Amino acid sequence: MSGVDGEEVRRVPTPAEWAGGLPAFERLFAEFYGRVPNDPVLAPVFAGMSADHVRHVSRFVTEVMGGPGEYTAEGGSHAAMVSRHLGRNLTQEQRRRWVTLLLECADELGVPDDPEFRSTLVAYLEWGTRIAVLNSGPGGAPPPADAPMPRWGWGEVGGPYLPPE
């Protein structure tokens, strides 16, 4: 790609591309959810997990990290994801364990661990898990049906959350 005065301009990969795309997130969440049934803190939360859970979460997080919109193309939305947590009464202990175990799996699978990528990933995980906890208790409600999918980038001006294009 050429820039001003013919200089070569490199396209910056999205965080999803940097991580290895959908296949990398599928491996990560398959490993993570494979461990959940043996985790005393998380097992009760996911006891009734559907067979498609890994697929849905992988596509959702890939899209949030700037990857293809397969999750929304299949009829998913941010409101739908949030609504999956309604009435679950998630605790801070469960939230922290979810993040910790996911990052342990990421380390073991060789998901990129450079500071730029990990700060982006952790920022989303912290934000998303806190939204899940807030909406899981009494009075929790999904965002409006037309709420945009969150998108996380490389820390552009305005924080890691990118409004829809």
Domain boundaries, the chain: 15-136
Query: What is d(CA 74, CA 157) in angstroms, rounded to the nearest whole number?
Result: 31
Q: How far from the centroid of its chain's Cα atoms is residue 140's Cα?
A: 20
Q: Quick one: average pLDDT of 9-27?
A: 94
| The pair of three-digit structure tokens given for residue 40, joined into one six-digit string | 């005393």
The beta-strand segments (E) located in 22-152 are: none
For the chain, the average pLDDT equals 89
Q: Quick one: average pLDDT of 15-32?
A: 98
**pLDDT surpasses 80 at 110:** yes
**pLDDT surpasses 60 at 6:** yes
pLDDT attached to residue 159: 45
pLDDT band at residue 157, thresholds of 50, 70 and 90?
very low
139-149 burial, b for 16+ CB within 10 Å, e for fewer?
A: ebebbeeeebb
Q: Quick one: average pLDDT of 20-35?
A: 98
pTM reported for the whole predicted model: 0.87
Percent of the chain with pLDDT over 70: 90
CATH fold of the domain at 15-136 = Globin-like (1.10.490)
Higher pLDDT: 149 or 23? It is: 23
